[in-house]
Amino acid sequence: MSDQNTTYEPLDVDTIPSRLGSIAAITKRLGTDASQWTAREVGDGNLNFVFIVTGPKGSVIVKQALPYVRLVGESWPLPLSRAFYEYHALTRQGLRDPQSVPEVFHFDEAQALIVMEYLTPHIILRYSLIGGNRHEGLGRRLGEFCARTLFRGSDLAMDAADRKADLALFAGNGALCDITENLVFSDPYFDAEMNRHTTPQLDRIVATLRADIDLKVEVQHLKAAFCANAETMLHGDLHTGSVMVAADEAIVIDPEFVTYGPMGFDIGMLISNFFMAYYAQPGHASKSDDRTAYQDWILEVTAEIHDVFTVEFSRLWREERTGILYPKSLYEDQGHAIASEQALGHRLNAIWRDCLGFAGIEMHRRILGLAHNADFETIENENLRAECEARALVLGRQLVINRGRLNSMAAVFDLAKFIGRENLL
Amino acid sequence: MSDQNTTYEPLDVDTIPSRLGSIAAITKRLGTDASQWTAREVGDGNLNFVFIVTGPKGSVIVKQALPYVRLVGESWPLPLSRAFYEYHALTRQGLRDPQSVPEVFHFDEAQALIVMEYLTPHIILRYSLIGGNRHEGLGRRLGEFCARTLFRGSDLAMDAADRKADLALFAGNGALCDITENLVFSDPYFDAEMNRHTTPQLDRIVATLRADIDLKVEVQHLKAAFCANAETMLHGDLHTGSVMVAADEAIVIDPEFVTYGPMGFDIGMLISNFFMAYYAQPGHASKSDDRTAYQDWILEVTAEIHDVFTVEFSRLWREERTGILYPKSLYEDQGHAIASEQALGHRLNAIWRDCLGFAGIEMHRRILGLAHNADFETIENENLRAECEARALVLGRQLVINRGRLNSMAAVFDLAKFIGRENLL
């Protein structure tokens, strides 16, 4: 019997077979004899339960929202509806960029439960970057994902009424937006209660950042854009912990922070996490591998994400611009295709500027805020960790403040490398 | 008996007493003996029925949406729900800027019917500007209205969850947005079916505008901002036909185009209509009054709208900035009040730039699109009318293209006056 429409109750490894054993979409993947199923809880995120459930025929992932923030506990309630929004985000992403996200087999709104494809032998990209692994085609896949989901979720492509309906739908996911609004855009920039940072090593640089008025103004401009500029359906939390990778495959997971927001947000958060992986490498070096070649590979992937994003977004602009914005009736149909190219250039520039700004903020919040990155956290030597973190903090400030004047990824890399050679503590 | 929850049926002057005669909120204003009521239809807008209903005790306005665009006919259906959105806009505007809008006595969603305060001896501002009348305090009132409704409907002031709920609510008003998106932002810039302009006098200048690639790109950037940049609850149609004036009073009506959009939209459309009134004056001159002094008065009011908007918006920024953006916890509470002032300056600049852009587009659509202005339409001499219109078209282009480089209203006035002296045909 399905749990649909019954009172919410958290699953556990013992009750999963009885509670999910009669759902055809699941038995089809695991086998009908639920007594042979085994489940283990593997969630390492901040919010939810995640189970791998295995039966005679295969495995599935069962993700269930909890009515509070797992990282913090019951003192921080969080609505179960986030599973509803994640489900609707996953289905849209799957249509807009096929094979980019796990296939959804079953959704139960009352139980805040999504049953989806078990990805194996995939691991979380963040840990793979800590481990020094390379993945063929990673930058291409992520660049395409950003271009396709961001373009196809906007008024550039969608029917205007459909976009407004989705805007209204995802506006209901405010509790998750609230986390981003506070933890990403405000808390890192003052001495907020839930903050932490590597102390005392970073104290001086943190104090400098929090006294930086220009920075605090620009960050709030970017927050205003995040809150108001509802251009497209964002993943909303697209860091390297939201990507699962195998040798030559990358799958994007966990879009529960989905919201309508500015195009540059997802891609900015994503490349930010690559820059942090880059700066963290000295903390993961060994005698046999100083990780400098691997750092080069990380930057190559970062460049490829943005290059592919630009190429694919431009292709979609030329081939799929069927929405109400920059309509062909005004441009191509009037013999003014050059207007379309001119507008595309402007839009790409605007996305690039926003992208850099959001990237800078993401670095700050991962080092100064509540939710830190394993890239840095797994560096046990605190002095070494702080050195790595300090570089990311300084690059972050540069990206926010100078986002209007950094005209290419090459310029950003020059800056990142320069800062990488500095001893900032 | 109230019509609530019954099938929609258009009112007429004969059925109004029987259909509305038992609604206490109305009988309280008109008197309980509905047989003594008289009604007349006075709607001169493009969309709805408007009745003045008078009884022994007084009068009320009864506004009822029709299931189609009145200006065009049944061939252009338009949802009755616009009355629902107008009602919700009116109540919010009334809270955010008390006495700025008519008091609502009764709303019937099924009948798409709003019963509200009858304003007397008020007339539509547009006709008063055509008539050459002056109104004490007009600029102040309109500047305050813009500042208060735009500030207080945004994440600068509102609880974030409330703003998201309103964003979702008003996203349902897409059919009305669709009119703006097409008729304002696209149709004027190509030879769209419903367009018309004073021909052949304007043909050459219209062809030049429609071949202007830079203009067509910038207009679509502004359209993108209108569609996506959901900063605040807009009136959505704030022209001089949406303001009723008496000697020293101004009341804003007809917010059925309400939507969340960019701060600069309402104020841009408003000042645009003052510029058009300015350029139309030679068409309303008489032997005894060449209207040049009145033109000066129009520009004074235009300047005052923007000055008062700036002062009042700044006051609200300092005193009522209780939303999630630019929070005092980050600025004032850290001894960084100057960051708040810096951010305010940036925001006012951004609003000003958008305002000029939207103002320019409004001029174009009123002369090239479907819905023209009485300011120009009432000039019977077509050559004279075209001369006036041409100046507005040229100023409009300047405002769109150079909105980032026109740094003050004084600079805009210099430009407007220069163009006013040109003979463009």
pLDDT in tens, A132-173: 999 999 999 999 999 999 999 999 999 999 999 999 999 999
Domain boundary among A117, A143, A178: A117
Does residue B44 register a pLDDT over 80?
A: no
Residue among B261, B255, B82 at smallest CA distance from B154: B261
C-alpha distances out from residue B212 to A229, A343, B259, Å: 28, 13, 29
Rounded CA-CA distance B72/B56 in Å is: 36
C-beta neighbour count of A118 within 10 angstroms? 17
Chain B hits for A338, CB-CB cut-off 8 Å, are: 213
Q: Looking at the domain assignment, is residue B10 inside a domain?
A: no
Contact B186 A327 (CB under 8 A): yes
Please indicate, yes or no, whether residues A45 and A169 belong to a single structural domain of this protein: no
Rounded CA-CA distance B282/B419 in Å is: 14
Mean pLDDT, residues A376-397 taken together: 98
Cis amide bond preceding B327, omega within 30: no
Residue pLDDT, tens place only, B125-157: 999 999 999 999 999 999 999 999 999 999 999
Residue A292, token pair as written in the block: 């400098």
Contact B326 A224 (CB under 8 A): yes
Residue pLDDT, tens place only, A56-89: 999 999 999 999 988 788 898 999 999 999 999 9
Please indicate, yes or no, whether residues B161 and B84 belong to a single structural domain of this protein: no
B337 interfacial to chain A (CB closer than 8 Å): no
Q: What is the pLDDT of residue B323?
A: 98
Residue at A102: amino acid letter: P
Residue at A306: amino acid letter: H
Contact A227 B325 (CB under 8 A): yes
B81 interfacial to chain A (CB closer than 8 Å): no
Q: What is the pLDDT of residue B2?
A: 44
Q: What is the pLDDT of residue A5?
A: 52
B343 interfacial to chain A (CB closer than 8 Å): yes
Does residue A3 register a pLDDT over 70?
A: no
Q: Which domain CATH number covers B47? A: 3.30.200.20
Residue pair A258/A228 in contact (Cβ under 8 Å)? The answer is no
Contact B346 A172 (CB under 8 A): no
Q: Looking at the domain assignment, is residue A3 inside a domain?
A: no
Does residue A281 register a pLDDT over 50?
A: yes
More confident: A4 or A356: A356
Residue at A294: amino acid letter: Y
Please indicate, yes or no, whether residues B412 and B389 belong to a single structural domain of this protein: yes
Q: Looking at the domain assignment, is residue A5 inside a domain?
A: no
Mean pLDDT, residues A234-246 taken together: 97
What residues make up the domain containing A50? 16-117
B229 interfacial to chain A (CB closer than 8 Å): yes
Please indicate, yes or no, whether residues B386 and B340 belong to a single structural domain of this protein: yes
Domain boundary among A117, A144, A169: A117
Report the number of secondary-structure helices (H) and strands (E) in chain A: 15, 12
Q: Which of A1-10, A110-119, A143-152, B149-158 has the lowest mean pLDDT?
A: A1-10
Does residue A404 register a pLDDT over 70?
A: yes
Q: Looking at the domain assignment, is residue A219 inside a domain?
A: yes
Please indicate, yes or no, whether residues B230 and B378 belong to a single structural domain of this protein: yes
Q: Which of A331-335, A376-380, B46-50, B327-331 has the lowest mean pLDDT?
A: B46-50
DSSP string, A127-170: HHHHHT---TTHHHHHHHHHHHHHHHTSTTTS-HHHHHHHHHHH
In chain B, which residue's Cα lies nearest the Cα of A153?
B228
B228 interfacial to chain A (CB closer than 8 Å): yes
- For helices A138-152 and A82-96, the axis angle rounded to 10 degrees is 110
Q: Which of A291-295, A414-418, B40-44 has the lowest mean pLDDT?
A: B40-44
Mean pLDDT, residues B9-14 taken together: 95
Residue pair A175/A67 in contact (Cβ under 8 Å)? The answer is no
Q: Which domain CATH number covers A232? A: 3.90.1200.10
Please indicate, yes or no, whether residues B146 and B58 belong to a single structural domain of this protein: no
Contact B231 A221 (CB under 8 A): no
Does residue B51 register a pLDDT over 70?
A: yes
Domain boundary among A117, A138, A157: A117
Mean pLDDT, residues B161-165 taken together: 98
Q: What is the mean pLDDT of chain B?
A: 96
Phi, psi at residue A213, to the nearest 5°?
-65, -45
Rounded CA-CA distance B336/B328 in Å is: 9
Please indicate, yes or no, whether residues B270 and B410 belong to a single structural domain of this protein: yes
Q: What is the pLDDT of residue B1?
A: 39
Does residue A1 register a pLDDT over 70?
A: no
Q: Looking at the domain assignment, is residue B415 inside a domain?
A: yes
Contact A229 B228 (CB under 8 A): yes
Q: What is the pLDDT of residue A247?
A: 87
Rounded CA-CA distance B364/B392 in Å is: 8
Q: What is the pLDDT of residue B5?
A: 52
B98 interfacial to chain A (CB closer than 8 Å): no
Residue B123, min C-alpha distance to chain A (Å): 36
Q: Looking at the domain assignment, is residue B359 inside a domain?
A: yes
Q: Looking at the domain assignment, is residue A6 inside a domain?
A: no
Rounded CA-CA distance B29/A198 in Å is: 69
Q: Looking at the domain assignment, is residue A37 inside a domain?
A: yes
Please indicate, yes or no, whether residues B327 and B257 belong to a single structural domain of this protein: yes
Rounded CA-CA distance A93/A95 in Å is: 5
Cis amide bond preceding A17, omega within 30: no
* Number of folded domains that form chain B: 2
Q: What is the pLDDT of residue A122?
A: 96
Contact B334 A190 (CB under 8 A): yes
Rounded CA-CA distance B346/A220 in Å is: 11
Please indicate, yes or no, whether residues A210 and A318 belong to a single structural domain of this protein: yes
- Whole-number percent of chain A with pLDDT over 70: 99
Contact A224 B231 (CB under 8 A): yes
Please indicate, yes or no, whether residues B408 and B267 belong to a single structural domain of this protein: yes
B residues 121..180 contacting A (CB < 8 A)? 154-155, 160-161, 164-165, 167-169, 171-172, 174, 177-178
Q: What is the pLDDT of residue A424?
A: 93
Q: Name residue B61's beta-bridge partners.
A: B52, B116
* Interacting residues of A214 by C-beta distance below 8 A, sequence separation 6+: A401, B342
Please indicate, yes or no, whether residues A317 and A346 belong to a single structural domain of this protein: yes
Please indicate, yes or no, whether residues B146 and B111 belong to a single structural domain of this protein: no
